[in-house]
Amino acid sequence: MQTAPAIRVADLCFSWSDQGKLVLDHCSLVVPKGEFWMLLGTNGSGKSTLLRLLSGLAVPQSGMLEAGQPVGFVFQNPDHQLVMPTVGADVAFGLVSEKLSLSETRLRVEEALQAVNLVHLERRPIYALSGGQKQRVAIAGALARHCEVLLLDEPTALLDPDSQRDLVEQVRRLVKTRGLTALWVTHRLNELEFADGAFLLEQGQVVDQGDPLRLRERLA
């Protein structure tokens, strides 16, 4: 029996104002469970808006969207979402609502930091981290909450080439070893080699999808 997709969007419409132009115009896509897909498109095509809708940060005017819960969101600039003074405290912060015991919280934090190879930095101040390390802390926060779906909005935009490659390889590994599903927004065509599939968004609609290397050739 075929399993349900991790992300399903059908005829989704959204505008930032009641009478404004549609940012997403009957947008439809499906991301299979346990796969790493990328979302391409020019500025203003609706990529970031789609991620915000999937994460519950905005509500569509019409259409349908489903995403496996819980959902984790990694912003382009990690300084916009890391709020605690140290690495361990920030990863634990997202667990407050689950009302876990102290030992359960510590175990979740340690497991999440191990997954992104940052256990040795648990007590490190956030301000002392590199950009790539900060993004991995943000991902660890999602892993600690046992997120099924990971949404990443141009997470390498502010990183140097080495950190960029390290982060995309980390996410690829997490998808393949932990059963996560990831949807990653990018402008960097070289990142497509790590994806299982890709979508091309234009004027709020998916106009092409499938093999990421074919899409890279189309856009090169």
pLDDT beyond 70 at 2: no
Question: Which of 7, 25, 26 is CA-nearest to residue 66?
Answer: 7
184 in Cβ contact with 152 (< 8 Å):
yes
pLDDT in tens, 31-74: 999 999 999 999 989 999 999 999 999 999 999 999 999 999 99
For the cut 70, the answer to whether the pLDDT of residue 101 exceeds it is yes
pLDDT at 220: 85
Query: Residue range 80-104: average pLDDT?
Result: 95
> What is the overall mean pLDDT for the chain?
95
Encoded tokens for 77 = 């600039």
Report the pLDDT value the prediction gives residue 34, as an integer from 0 to 100. Answer: 96
Per residue in 166-180, pLDDT (tens digit) is: 999 999 999 999 999
Q: Is pTM beyond 0.75 here?
A: yes
The strands making up 36-40's β-sheet, listed across from edge to edge, are: 71-74, 149-153, 181-185, 36-40, 197-202, 205-210
Q: Which amino acid is at 117?
A: N
pLDDT band at residue 18 using 50, 70 and 90 as cut-offs: confident
Question: Rounded to the nearest 5 degrees, what angle is found at the Cα of 105, between the Cα atoms of 102 and 110?
Answer: 125
For residue 17, the model assigns a pLDDT of 85
Give all domains of the chain, ordered by start, each with its CATH number: 1-69+148-220 (3.40.50.300), 78-145 (no CATH)
Q: What is the percent of the chain with per-residue pLDDT over 70, rounded to a whole number?
A: 99
Closest Cα partner for 97 from 144, 58, 54?
144
What DSSP string describes 129-176?
S-HHHHHHHHHHHHHHTT-SEEEEESTTTTS-HHHHHHHHHHHHHHHH
What type of residue is 79? D
